[in-house]
Amino acid sequence: MIGVLAATQTAITPGAAQLASQMAFYLGTAALIGIGTALALGAGQRRLRRPVTVAWVIAATGATMIATDAYSTFSLPLTRFLTTTLGQAAAARILGLVIAYAGTIAIAQRRNGTWLVLSGGVLAAAAHATGGHANSSPVPAVAILMQSAHIVGVGVWLGGLGAILLATRGAPDGTRAALIARFSRIAGVTIVLVAATGVVRAVDMVGTSVGALTETTYGRFVLFKAELLIALAAFGAHNRYVEVPRAHRILRGLRRAAAAELALGIIILGATSMLRGTEPAKTAYAQIVAARAAASGAVVTTRPLPIGVTAYEAAYPDGASVQAYLDPEAPGVNELHLTFFDPDGTELAMRELRTEVGGIETPAADIERLTPGHFSIRIDLGLGQHELEVGAIARGGRRFAFSFPLQID
Residues 217/275, Cβ–Cβ less than 8 Å: no
- How many Å apart are CA 271 and CA 389, to the nearest integer? 32
CB 202 within 8 A of CB 264: no
pLDDT digits (tens, 9 = 90+) for 156-186: 999 999 999 999 988 888 898 999 999 999 9
Q: In this predicted structure, what is the pLDDT of residue 73? A: 76
**Rounded CA Rg of the chain:** 26
Sheet of strand 321-327, all strands in order from the earlier edge strand to the far edge: 299-304, 310-315, 321-327, 332-341, 374-381, 367-371
* Tens digits of residue pLDDT in 97-155: 999 999 999 999 999 999 999 999 999 999 998 887 777 777 888 889 999 999 999 99
Render pLDDT for 285-341 as a digit per residue (tens, 0 to 9). Answer: 766 665 655 555 677 788 887 777 888 888 888 888 999 999 888 888 999 999 999
For residues 194-203, give the mean pLDDT: 89
How far apart are alpha carbons 51 and 166 in whole angstroms?
A: 9
Task: Please say whether the beta carbons of 324 and 339 come within 8 A.
Answer: yes
Mean pLDDT on 269-278 = 82
DSSP 8-state secondary structure symbol assigned to residue 342: -
Going by C-alpha positions, the residue among 391, 385, 394, 398 that lies closest to residue 302 is: 385
Question: What is the chain's mean pLDDT, rounded?
Answer: 86
Rounded distance, CA 15 to CA 28, Å?
Answer: 20
User: Distance between CA atoms of 372 and 394, rounded to whole angstroms?
Assistant: 10
- Residue 261 vs residues 149, 228, 252, 280: alpha-carbon distances, Å: 20, 10, 14, 28
370 Cβ neighbours under 8 A, 6+ residues apart: 376
Q: List C-alpha distances in Å: 258 to 3, 185, 224.
A: 47, 15, 20
β 374-381/332-341 pair status: antiparallel
pLDDT of amino acid 99: 97
Which residues have C-beta within 8 Å of that of residue 223, sequence separation ≥ 6? 213, 214
Q: Is 137 helix (H, G, I), strand (E, B) or coil?
A: coil
Cis? peptide before 172, omega within 30° of 0 = no
Name 391's bridge partners: 354, 401
- In this structure, which topology does domain 16-280 adopt according to CATH? Formate dehydrogenase/DMSO reductase fold (1.20.1630)
Q: Rounded to two decimals, what is the model's pTM? A: 0.69
Is residue 284's pLDDT more than 80?
Answer: no
- The band of 391, judged by pLDDT with boundaries at 50, 70 and 90, is confident
Q: How far apart are CA 129 and CA 148, in angstroms?
A: 6
Q: What is the pLDDT of residue 385?
A: 76
The string of DSSP codes covering 172-210 is --HHHHHHHHHHHHHHHHHHHHHHHHHHHHHHHHH-S-H
For strands 321-327 and 384-394, give the pairing: unpaired
Assess whether pLDDT exceeds 70 at residue 9.
no
Least confident of 40-44, 175-179, 286-290, 397-401: 286-290
Predicted local distance difference test score (pLDDT) of residue 361: 84
Query: Domain 297-408 belongs to what topology?
Result: Immunoglobulin-like (2.60.40)
Residue 402 carries which DSSP code?
E
Coil, strand, or helix at residue 393? strand
pLDDT at 72: 84
Q: By C-alpha distance, which of 140, 144, 100 is closest to 122?
A: 100
> Is residue 254 exposed (0-12), middle (13-18) or buried (19+ Cβ within 10 Å)?
buried
Name, of 12-16, 187-191, 283-287, the range with top average pLDDT. 187-191
Nearest by Cα to 244 from 192, 176, 166, 194: 176
| Percentage of residues in the chain having pLDDT higher than 90 | 37
Q: How far, CA to CA in Å, does 135 sit from each of 128, 130, 131, 139?
A: 10, 6, 6, 8
- Residue 297 pLDDT: 66
Q: What is the mean pLDDT of residues 213-227?
A: 88
**Residue ranges of domains in the chain:** 16-280, 297-408
Summarised one tens digit per residue, pLDDT across range 229-271 is: 898 888 888 888 888 888 888 888 888 888 888 998 889 888 8
